[in-house]
Amino acid sequence: MTAADDHRATAARFGELVAGTTDWEAPAPCEGWTARDVVRHLVEWLPSFLRSGAGIELPPGPSVDDDPAGAWRAHAAGVQAVLDDPASAAIMFSNPHTGDMPVPDAIATFYTSDIFLHTWDLARATGQDERLDPQRCAAMLAGMAGAEGAMRSSGQFGPAVEVPADADPQTRLLAFIGRRP
């Protein structure tokens, strides 16, 4: 699957949850966050990441405070446009913490995976379907295991939560990133 196809599918699933949200102030599993804050996080961190690392400007959208669903739709469409543009593959993303890589790889590695993880947060906050793709959960967990020290020191992930050894891949992944599934 290409980075564009992966984002399209992952953003669409998150978008379904956004469209189904009726209470934007519902508490989310991320301490101190609401459903609105989950969307805010995804909409607000990537533009500066792409601007500073690749000189890419995403088009602005509505404010998450005024229209979280509209903000998500505009943002997801802007990211998708970057990924659908064949010229993006030739643009290098450069960051002292992550190294150099083509823009589509940077978006897939850092952003689309973040959407995937926060899909559970929004679903949990809003009482919607929390199921994540088990194969992707297992693959992400395997990839993260080797970088646990760096992940924990970044402050972006809570301490791992203990779960039974025979827990399903989604439960293990969520527990690894500090969620209480």
pLDDT digits 0-9 by tens, 95-126: 988 889 999 999 999 999 999 999 999 999 99
- Per residue in 17-41, is it b (16+ CB within 10 Å) or e — as a string? bbeebeebebebbbeebbbbbbbbb
pLDDT digits 0-9 by tens, 21-72: 999 999 999 989 999 999 999 999 999 999 999 999 999 999 999 999 999 9
pLDDT value, residue 75:
98
pLDDT value, residue 181:
80
Q: Which domains does the chain have, with CATH numbers?
A: 3-130 (1.20.120.450), 133-181 (no CATH)
151 confidence band (pLDDT: 50, 70, 90) = confident
Residue 137 predicted with pLDDT over 70: yes
pTM over 0.75: yes
